[in-house]
Chain A
Amino acid sequence: MTKVIAWAVDPFVRVAVYIIELSALFYESLRSLFTIQGRKVVLEATERQILFTGVEALPVMGLMAFILGAVVILQALTQLPKLGAEEAIGTVLVMVIIREVGPLMTALMVVGRSGSAIAIELGNMQVHEEITAIEAMGINTMHFLTAPRIIGVVLSMVCLFLYFDLVALAGGFLVARWTLSIPIGRLLHSFAVGVQFADLIVGIVKCTLNGIAISLICIYQGLEVKGSPTEVPQAATKAIVRSFIVCMVLNIFVTYLFYR
């Protein structure tokens, strides 16, 4: 009987321990930002993370956003005219892209590109004793390694989300312009009516939470590597899968909180 209870309870305990450890990592990283030493070094590391996660992702993000915006409009075009709601096309696009697809696609892109890279980089650093060497130099690893990655990922995600929205709306607008007979003024009005400032804020909240979750999970999994190179790809896989699951859950949670 005890074994059955232990078997049933074990996954919940493990999840709880995981969340506590991630929270501790987050707390320690934030706390490290009050360190006076090495601020310039940490700032440079943050800039590098923003460059990799944000700036270098712009072309592929733009392409994806444009295609998605166009696809959403094309799908809407097959249904809305049947309901006589052709002019609501802009509103539909805005709701789908800004509220749900934007934050999720940004998360997906960042997990795939940067999250895996963070886990692999830190895993390899563990294998080659680089992290021990950093500690031996008296450098706070939370300050030098963890905090710049969290800040870099969060800032990049928020900017990527706004960029994604803009390009997706542009893509949708262009497709709508070519395929619909609605005058451009009314089409623009339909878009303008759809865009709510509150939706943008909710999107930014989602991206901030997703960014914190992705960076923490990927850093944690990278640092979990003990010393064997074979652990590195496993850490990367775990980081990607867990990050994406957590992002989905956070998205549902925020959507429920703001739109129920």
Chain B
Amino acid sequence: MKEPLLTCRSVAIEKGGKTVLEGIDLDIAQGEIFAMVGGDGTGKSALLLACAGISPPIRGEVRLFGINPFKVGRYKLRSLRSRLGMVFQDGALISNMTIFQNLALPLRYHLGHEGAILERRVKEKMKEFGLEPFRDELPANVPAGMRKMAGVARATILGPELLFCDEPFTWLDRKEEQKLLEVFHRVQAFQGAIVLVMSDMNRASQIADRIGSLEKGTLRLRSG
């Protein structure tokens, strides 16, 4: 049996000095879409950050591709993170960089792409997400939906094996939602996995293979 891409064991999450989630056990397999659903303040975004190896849990263990991201050296951690994609609720684009520069950043930093190859790869991604009209705009001058799409484009530009999305469908119109679902299916097709954080249970049931409901400080798993 293949090792899961993401494993959580007895994970506890703290928010504002209070333990909000405890005893989280989770395995995310290749090709899976998993949605964590919960109301405001249940700690779902904090859990997502822990799963993505960004904020450590107060207790328990997280493993990404079999490696604990909080116990590895900085170089290994960076190479681990370059295999992940993270989509934030409002895109979290770098505000003093244009949409083109935002998308180009991972390619330039990790792969050293410059010139024609960089231009071609970013253009392709911008075309895919309908971002060409906003190429030289700063994120503040771009509509919220498009900002979100730019965030998705940036998160997927290196071809992540594991994609984390915080409230992926907020501010998106139907066409953009469709585009996002295509992205998810593409990640799945390449044996990647997607972890979503959502507050709408019905929408999550339509998209995810499995759902984890955050209730009473823990995660209850069910099929999607």
Residues of chain A having any CB pair with chain B under 8 Å:
37-38, 40-41, 121, 124-125, 128-130, 132-140, 144
Point out the residues of chain B lying under 8 angstroms from A128, CB to CB.
Answer: 90, 92, 95
Closest-CB distance, A114 to chain B (whole angstroms):
14
| B109, A144: Cβ atoms closer than 8 Å | yes
Contact B109 A38 (CB under 8 A): yes
Q: Using A38-B109, A144-B109 as known contacts, say yes or no to A135 and B95 having CB atoms under 8 A apart.
A: no
The distance in angstroms between the C-alpha atoms of A134 and B93, with both chains bound, is 9
Given A38-B109, A121-B96, A136-B54, 4 new contacts (CB under 8 A): A125-B95, A133-B92, A137-B86, A139-B106
Do B94 and A133 touch (CB < 8 A)?
A: yes
CA distance A134 to B94 in the complex (A): 8
Q: Please give me the residue from chain A that is nearest to B78 by CB atom.
A: A138
A134 to B96, CA, bound (A): 13
Interface centre among A40, A135, A137 (most CB of B within 10 A): A137
Cα separation A136 to B158 with both chains bound (whole Å):
13
Question: B98-116: which residues lie under 8 A (CB-CB) from chain A?
Answer: 105-106, 108-110, 112, 114
**Which residues from chain B contact A136 at a C-beta distance below 8 Å?**
52, 54, 81, 84, 86, 164
Given A38-B110, A133-B88, answer yes or no on A138-B93 (Cβ-Cβ < 8 Å).
no
Residue of B nearest to A137 (CB): B106
A-contact 0/1 string along B150-180, CB 8 Å cutoff = 0100100000000010000000000000000
Residue of A nearest to B97 (CB): A130
Residues of chain B having any CB pair with chain A under 8 Å = 49, 52, 54, 74, 77-82, 84, 86, 88-90, 92-96, 105-106, 108-110, 112, 114, 151, 154, 164
B54 & A135 in contact (Cβ 8 Å cutoff): yes
Q: A132-B88, A133-B88 are in contact. Are A139 and B94 (CB under 8 A)?
A: no
CA distance A138 to B72 in the complex (A): 13
Q: How far is the CA of A39 from the CA of B27 in the complex (A)?
A: 37
Please report the C-alpha to C-alpha distance between residue A36 and residue B77 in the assembled complex, in whole angstroms: 15
CA distance A136 to B112 in the complex (A): 18
Q: Which residue of B lies closest to A138 (CB)?
A: B81
Tell me if B90 and A41 are in contact (CB < 8 A).
no
B81 and A137 contact, CB distance less than 8 A: yes
- Neighbouring B residues of A140 by C-beta, 8 Å: 74, 78
A183 to chain B, nearest CB (A): 54
A-B contact pairs, 9 of them (CB 8 A): A37-B78, A128-B90, A130-B94, A133-B86, A134-B94, A135-B54, A136-B54, A138-B84, A138-B106
Q: A136-B86, A137-B82, A140-B74 are in contact. Are A41 and B92 (CB under 8 A)?
A: no
Closest Cβ–Cβ distance, residue B55 to chain A (whole Å): 8
B82/A138 in contact, CB under 8 A: yes
Neighbouring A residues of B74 by C-beta, 8 Å: 140
B80 touches which of A38, A134, A138, A144 (Cβ 8 Å): A138
A37 touches B109 (CB 8 A): yes
Please report the C-alpha to C-alpha distance between residue A38 and residue B89 in the assembled complex, in whole angstroms.
26
Q: Is the CB of A129 within 8 A of B95?
A: no
Partner of A40, one of B84, B114, B154: B114
Bound-state Cα–Cα, A38 to B114, Å: 11
Query: Once the chains bind, are B108 and A38 in contact (CB under 8 Å)?
Result: yes
Complex contacts, B81 vs chain A, CB 8 Å: 135-138
Query: What 4 A-B pairs have minimum CB-CB distances, sorted nearest first?
Result: A138-B81, A133-B92, A136-B86, A38-B109
Q: Are B105 and A41 in contact (CB under 8 A)?
A: yes
Contacts A132-B49, A132-B54 given; indicate if A138 touches B110 (C-beta within 8 A).
yes
Contacts A41-B105, A138-B110, A139-B105 given; indicate if A130 touches B49 (C-beta within 8 A). no
- Most chain B CB within 10 A, of A37, A136, A144, is at A136
- Do residues B92 and A130 form an inter-chain contact, with CB atoms below 8 A? yes
A135 to B82, CA, bound (A): 10
Residues of the B chain whose Cβ atoms lie less than 8 Å from the Cβ of A40? 108, 112, 114
Contacts known (A40-B112, A135-B54); A129 close to B88, Cβ less than 8 A: yes
Contact A137 B95 (CB under 8 A): no
